[in-house]
Structure 1
């Protein structure tokens, strides 16, 4: 397909803005059957292109992107504030770590073999409805203007402002890819939450360790709170965690990643125009209480591709069910008000809930009965009080900016 700045016809069935997890996953689902043409518009190298990210998710058996998975674990561990570990086995599920670089290369290679699919490197200047479709106005790396048109456009770029919400927290973090001089890590087990770090006055903090080899791991410091830290504060926390808690001895930092994930009960609209829709985190795919996004992106992409192939609605399906969002809204409010102790709550979930049920709960796949059983093991009084007050609270816009582009890293 020849692209021209003067072209004004249909260039694809679908244009996907953004070549991250959501955009490439949808492109893959739409084109694997060979019945839909898709153009992915991805930012060229430069300040608009995000740094490499890490996505983690649970999956049973070999998945669609197994070739790009960096590591996986079936044993998971949480450390309480008292230092006592809780270790669970997730089998038949495995916790998988996927880096954005290998993922992008894998999906790009699949798109290259699909007729009518392409990836265009350009900066998107505007997306708008026109006639019986939508138009994407771009600037190529050399400065040339490019106009693309399709029946439908799916936009995965981060939203400029978060929607009004009753509770607005941030999951913010910085991680070091560490190599130790002696072997210090057990590659068979991942530490999801390690609360043996100093807790902030508001919110909670934990360490997170994904071992890649006996001498290599991603070591991360994470907070759930209202505002991010500066780089020096993250590095000081990582230094303390690596030296005083993990006792790593001598190490070198080979790479760094940092990010901010909104934790909000705001309602993300999935429609931005007559033929323009939002997907991924921009369309509400991030699980409000945990920050996990990748699994929801896959569910949404599969369902949306099925809808389009069947001639049903083009509006992306909700990434999370109403019950899951309602429970998350209660939990976020209870954490924000201090009615529940975050480290005790999450440690208790792992101590008192069967592993497979807990992982399904974190992924939004539990039944009402399973959720009822989990609820009985949580602080019932504070949670009920919070649930009763939520309908009477106003949704307010966020007053402080999110200082880093929302991205899902290690969550």
Structure 2
């Protein structure tokens, strides 16, 4: 095996997904630090294309890569009743990983202090006042990346111990219909007009890209993923019987699993080594949304590096995580009706406040008002029992596709 010269920089970011590229972009474009991103070479280690969704006010850092956006959001209850809200001044946006990566790579290429290395990252170890990442290049050659700080976005080998663990698992079709079937201004976040599983909940998810094109997904919150045939059967039923799409063709597919857990993800794994993104707890446990939290985390990390501090702050506040823990337990035990709960949130809470709540940006008083519209008895019973439950080791995660919806 050949040996290549070491590459040194202020920061090494391991992984070129949403979290890794967002942090590298923030560090390099602002001139905060020199940064090396190590991405897996083409092949089985590179993840397939993913979709990330989030809400934002005004144009953001990655507006050039936005695939589509929506001014109105809709939820269909299990009884067929629809709730449509306009969350102005927020818009719901979709990014696809390919366009996002091309945009960030182009910006990094124009930044003199940034480089992207295609290699398979292996061990990360601390050396003196810094750390190094041992890599293998596409040709089998060894490569050592050295830096003052390392931020690792790779999926964790095992999930942290938790009291509750559900999975948000999904499969989606990018469809083209024979006629116009979609309203490009309205995104269906949750459509509960699908058969519900015995445990957990299920819903459809529709993001129109044009009057005759959309991402149509089937999602479950439950303990175990389905096989591909089961997802496709559910998608066919939803597209044909519920949406009434008529004739359609499938142009692309996405599929993934997001752990929904109240486990505590460690963000620091050494004096100079940190975890970021989903591996560092950026996924909101009760919703699966990640992308917006990754941006908050990236800004905070860059500000700390600029000020000479090395830290990855929590992506979600303590109150938000405590409320999520209660909700996950209540869903897992069946104490609350999931479709009725989520439909009620959208029916009774002003949309901008609800989206701020899902981002963890509401005040305690606003959260109290939202809580009064929830099933108080089951939620209170769950909150009382949680401190007495043991956190148990969790199985290794299945393939994860974090979404800010993937999410």
Q: Bin the TM-score by the shorter chain.
A: over 0.9
Q: For residue 349 of structure 1, what is the aligned residue in structure 2?
A: 345
Secondary structure in 1 aligned to 2:102? helix
Q: Normalising by structure 1, what TM-score?
A: 0.97
Q: For residue 371 of structure 2, what is the aligned residue in structure 1?
A: 375
Distance 2:234 2:24 in 1: 39
Q: For residue 10 of structure 2, what is the aligned residue in structure 1?
A: 13
Query: Alignment length, in residue pairs?
Result: 405
Q: For residue 91 of structure 2, what is the aligned residue in structure 1?
A: 94
Distance 2:181 2:263 in 1: 41
Matching residue within 156, 169, 173 for 2:170 = 173
Matching residue within 399, 407, 410 for 2:402 = 407
Matching residue within 187, 192, 195 for 2:192 = 195
Instruction: Give the CA deviation at 1:31.
Output: 1.2
Specify whether residues 305 and 35 from structure 1 end up closer, same or farther in structure 2 by C-alpha distance, changes over 3 A only. closer
Instruction: Give the CA deviation at 1:407.
Output: 2.8
Matching residue within 63, 68, 74 for 2:65 = 68
Q: For residue 302 of structure 1, what is the aligned residue in structure 2?
A: 299
Instruction: Give the CA deviation at 1:6.
Output: 5.0
Distance 2:402 2:143 in 1: 27
Matching residue within 277, 280, 290 for 2:277 = 280
Answer yes or no: is the 8 Å Cα contact 1:158–1:406 preserved in 2: no
1:316 and 2:312 aligned: yes
Answer yes or no: is the 8 Å Cα contact 2:157–2:397 preserved in 1: no
Distance 1:60 1:153 in 2: 31
CA displacement 1:245-278 (0-9 Å, x = unmatched): 0000000000000000000000000011121100
Answer yes or no: is the 8 Å Cα contact 2:86–2:351 preserved in 1: yes
Distance 1:274 1:410 in 2: 31
Q: Which runs of 5+ in 2 are unaligned?
A: none
Alignment of 1:75-90 (within 5 A): 75-90=72-87
Q: Which runs of 5+ in 1 are unaligned?
A: none
Instruction: Give the CA deviation at 1:182.
Output: 0.8
Matching residue within 228, 232, 246 for 1:231 = 228
Answer yes or no: is the 8 Å Cα contact 1:7–1:148 preserved in 2: no
Matching residue within 312, 321, 324 for 1:325 = 321
Instruction: Give the CA deviation at 1:383.
Output: 0.4
CA displacement 1:37-95 (0-9 Å, x = unmatched): 00000011111100000000000001110000000001000000000000000110000
Distance 1:282 1:60 in 2: 27
Instruction: Give the CA deviation at 1:146.
Output: 0.5
Q: For residue 246 of structure 1, what is the aligned residue in structure 2?
A: 243
Give me the CA root mean square deviation: 1.1
